[in-house]
Structure 1
């Protein structure tokens, strides 16, 4: 696990080692244990290493016997032992015990197709000196991020965008072309990036530079065909077996290992299966809140304790309060890009907490996407029933719903918010209904908010639906999630916030074999009779008790919307004051004022869009105004003192 970076110069001049060092300094947090580089004329590759496997001998870059192939790799290859034995049988000799060394010899044996043999989370750069060819790539699901800058002079890459800002002639500029997508979804989807001139390499993608030519291609896509004729009990057994194998494989480590535990189905399943594969108690870490109704809704500590007691883990907890807002500048510096998902705050805090004990953590990220755990997956199920009602009754319900108050942080108002959203979308097409559930702000409202609206270019969801195939509605939504929200929101924040404290976070529920299995299961089996995750719960029935399997789902975020009305109201008003908004000249300030007022009056639940705007302003002060995050943090503290 580490951060990688490198440069290929098209003009044939040698890469300057000082530039590689400057890039590495920006990502020292990703690899505090070691650093290394290899320069060969126009190409230079480098890394910062967090030692997990082969602590003494796994220094990178790695090379083959004759020095014709060089590699830097960020991540873990979980099936490296099997691949290593196979390659040794073919005569390949290994210099180290590192899991990443298999990439060198597998590439030598099979060429670019070697990528199909890997099971893991990774990004890598491989320099083939024989062909003067640079090959970079990213894992199938996009667990590990990779940013690319390509201009007339060079192609540069890095695990974090901030490393590319260390290049000569490059400065931080906002890309207004992606601003509309950011406001629409609350994050920037690949290949977009908030920095002008930089982009994300999409998941499951390889990029090669050879003889001055750049070629990029996709090597894997989610299967879009369900397998008919398989009984529910057979699916249950297949899912359980693959879950068990995924967790077992991802527990390999030469350093202490632990698990995030919320008490939800996914994290509880990971902990339960880890306990079955460990002779020592599993170390678990949970996060919670104390306070009023909003905090109670988000507090999952009692459920986490229940699971910890069940599997006799070494359990630790941390409580979060509104004063964590002073962390925003530091966290947004680490994130590289702003986002509206408050899970980046809780993920950082629990990662920092866990790093006191362990270097590797397992997370339950991905289970909701694979097995139908979000309420939006029931939209079609209930929309069909709703459309069977008389038209006059639906019209009356629509008028009434539009007047309902909304607040996700209060029990009754949250139910009204959900009802309001469902009725407003019930007669839309499946694709547009899904969009309405995910969007932070609808496209018309985004266009009105922007001072420079974007043209008619397609947005990430439109592109993802076009590529999603013709499967059933649930699996089409799953395919879109895998292309958009999963890699560019959930996995991005998981990587950036865990690596901010030099912690490796693994996601066994996103083992690609388990993902392919889930994609082949018909919707009616995964979500039966309107019961979310029904198949997964069936597969875990002998592992987890009913009160954990059937508890109400909560997101891994914070009650930020409630805090913005109370403790953090001064912060919101100062950061989004008309004078600040008008100085940035990105948004129409009267519309921002209206969003704040409507949120405070519960006319809308504006948590996500207000956080998108607030976090963009904090990000702008750090990257565009070039202010030190500590200085911005002090300013924020003064606002809420």
Structure 2
């Protein structure tokens, strides 16, 4: 993977210092591509590129062009079906000069236009300049594995892999987005197109942004499609044909992701998904499998016994990083700068240390298990939904307000997800500075396309929402891509292979939570590959010390970050409410449940660090 950035004029003429600006943008994302870089300037447009060399190591950095030079592209990512697509393009008369997968993009675009992106099986963020129509197109992969940000100014459209790339343009305001912060507090993470910065937007998963002659518009080129509940039919009596199908697809997905001209390793948490990937990779790679994990001294967080059992089974080589509360505290600021968003958990620091361990052991690419829980029903909520769900009883007025809010959020009042939003709205409103409270309840647009939820089975609805609200911008974004790439490591996700995703979206809900419990089908294909006690473990999410633990470890430093003077100056949260939360967190027996408690102090802490690191200004109320 790499880093991309660029600028396109909306006024007809590119600014005179565009090359210098592009150099600043490239420098802001050097960690994404330490091996090589390039700057390209064309009529009214300029690209910046940083390369992390993985395939065809001797090849030069992007951009790539069509034969006549009319189409120019830069790409961050990997295209796993590039050989098949390239063979078809060669038959159509296209010529290639490297063995780099992303060289196919300008040629594919020349043949198919914007429909080209739906043909790709991979993880990518792409910018294409079409000189024929004087058009810039930005596209993000179907599941949102890789990030792509942009800002629309009066004079330019600016884009980049990360927000800091876009913010290298001095004309992009650094005002904090109040609704972005509130999304981070309310949902698993911020949801694209929103970011932590008011004027910086994120391209949606499966979405593209088009800029032509100064006009900017967005559209969706691909989305998940689950069957209507009325079309499902009965649960299959014999799941073996489905097991064989999924097993073949998953094996191929892992094998595709082990192909590289650099060393490939596996993250190993000790859970089902990473253990399955490690087992399949061990049979796919010609060399001894190498795995990386973090360990903790406390038994409530540590999974090392399961990790070591899997390493013994595959006869691999394991790299373990012991993480302490002091490590979390020391890494918090750098983590926030890389994440570019407020977060509710400290485990992102562990993700940085995990990537650091991979890089130090000589691995540039790692395989990891995100996507399995969301596609195959791995979270406790799926079991609850399969049993009929639990609905809190509300008064008539509150019930009506909840339905109206769900309609605004999800485009369908009958869809619920994770919490009662009216009760949550009333609870968390007082945390904000008084002048902001009336503004946090504004819902400018639905978070998702409600037509994709309407008429679907409850488990399919949850899967769709998990993929959109939990996975794309949080688990793959601030927790995944940004943490790995901060140490110049590319993460690859076998469960998010298009062939595996296509299978999962057609899977009967009765086989998501089936005879083997949650993730029935994943457990079925793992039988014989993963030790039985890992196969039957309860879901154990990746977690790390919460704010009460950090207050005990670094009381003076954390206390300064949460001081009333500092909170008042940053003008996002109410200093009295923050002080009350801090007092409760410093009680001797204070602790937060890792899966059911909202760590509001962590949101306050990381919002403050974000503002410090980026020189951000408080939210306005205009």
- Note if 1:237 corresponds to 2:244: yes
State the alpha-carbon separation in 2 of the partners of residues 561 and 235 from structure 1. Answer: 44
For these two proteins, the number of residue pairs brought into alignment is 581
Counterpart secondary structure, 1:558: coil
Summarize the alignment of residues 178-193 of structure 1 with structure 2, pairs less than 5 Å apart: 178-185=180-187, 187-193=189-195
Alpha-carbon distance in 2 for matches of 1:386, 1:52: 49
1:366 to 2:371 alignment = yes
Contact 1:345 1:557 in 2 (8 A): no
Gaps of at least 5 residues in structure 2 are: 394-412, 618-622
Give the Cα separation in 2 of the matches to 1:597 and 1:467: 44
Shift of 1:125: 0.7
Contact 1:596–1:610 at 8 Å: present in 2 too?
Answer: yes
Rounded to whole Å, the distance in 2 between the matches of 1:58 and 1:337 is 33
1:182, distance to aligned residue in structure 2 (A): 2.5
1:286-325 deviation line (CA, Å, top 9, x unaligned): 11001xxxx2121111111111111111111110011121
Verify: 1:267 aligned to 2:270, yes or no.
no
Tell me if structure 1 keeps the 8 A contact 2:511–2:520. yes
* 8 A contact 2:345–2:599 mirrored in 1: yes
Q: Deviations over 1:168-190 (max 9, x none)?
A: 32342212233322322253211
CA distance in 2, matches of 1:455, 1:560: 25
Greater CA drift, 226-235 or 54-63: 226-235
> Is 2:318 the partner of 1:315?
yes
Residue 570 of structure 1 deviates from its aligned partner by: 4.0
The answer as to whether partners of 2:118 and 2:142 remain within 8 angstroms in 1 is no
Give the superposition deviation at 1:64. Answer: 2.1
- Deviation (angstroms), 1:518: 1.0
Q: Out of 127, 131, 134, which is 1:132 matched to?
A: 134
Q: Tell me the residue number matched to 2:359.
A: 355
TM-fit CA distance, 1:90: 1.8
Query: Are positions 1:490 and 2:475 aligned together?
Result: yes
2:285 aligned with 1:278: yes
> 1:380 aligned to 377, 385, 401, which one?
385
| Aligned mates of 2:308, 2:84 — CA distance in 1 | 37
Aligned-residue offset at 1:478: 0.7
Map of 2:19 onto structure 1: 17
Residue by residue over 1:406-426, the C-alpha shift from the partner in whole angstroms, topping out at 9 and shown as x without a partner, is xxxxxxxxxxxxxxxxxxxxx
Selected match of 1:616 from 599, 607, 612: 607
Following the alignment from structure 1 to structure 2, what is the Cα–Cα distance between the partners of residues 586 and 564? 22
How far the C-alpha of 1:57 sits from its partner, in A, is 1.7
In the other structure, the counterpart of 1:511 is: 497
Q: Contact 2:173–2:199 at 8 Å: present in 1 too?
A: no
State the TM-score, normalized to the length of structure 1: 0.86
Structure 2 counterpart of 1:541, from 520, 524, 527: 527
2:63 corresponding residue in structure 1: 61
Distance 2:287 2:474 in 1: 33
How far apart, CA to CA, are the structure 2 residues paired with 1:574 and 1:130?
56
RMSD of Structure 2 on Structure 1 (CA): 2.5
Q: Is the 8 A contact 1:137 1:207 kept in 2?
A: yes
Contact 2:384 2:390 in 1 (8 A): no
Cα separation, 2, equivalents of 1:440 and 1:62: 50
Separation (CA, whole Å) in 2 of partners of 1:465 and 1:378: 23
- Give the secondary-structure state (helix, strand or coil) at the position aligned to 1:6: strand
Distance in 1 separating the partners of 2:423 and 2:102:
42
Task: Give distance in 2, aligned partners of 1:186 and 1:574.
Answer: 27
TM-score, length-scaled by structure 2: 0.88
Query: Offset of 1:612 from its aligned partner?
Result: 1.1
Q: CA deviation at 1:625?
A: 6.3
* Secondary structure in structure 1 of the residue aligned to 2:128: strand
Q: Distance in 2 between matches of 1:473 and 1:58?
A: 49
Pick the aligned partner of 1:470 from 432, 455, 477: 455
Q: Name structure 1 gaps, 5 residues minimum.
A: 392-428, 627-641
Q: Secondary structure at the match of 2:467?
A: helix
Q: Which residue of 2 aligns with 1:47?
A: 49
* 1:79-124 deviation digits (Å, cap 9, x = unpaired): 1111111111222110111100111111111222111211000001
Asked whether the 8 Å contact 2:153–2:171 carries over to 1, the reply is no
Q: Secondary structure at the match of 2:553?
A: coil
Alignment of 1:190-589 (within 5 A): 190-225=192-227, 227-228=232-233, 230=236, 231-290=238-297, 295-324=298-327, 325-356=329-360, 357-382=362-387, 431-432=415-416, 434-435=418-419, 442-450=424-432, 451=434, 452-453=436-437, 454=439, 456-458=441-443, 463=448, 467-492=452-477, 493-528=479-514, 531-561=517-547, 563-564=549-550, 566-589=552-575
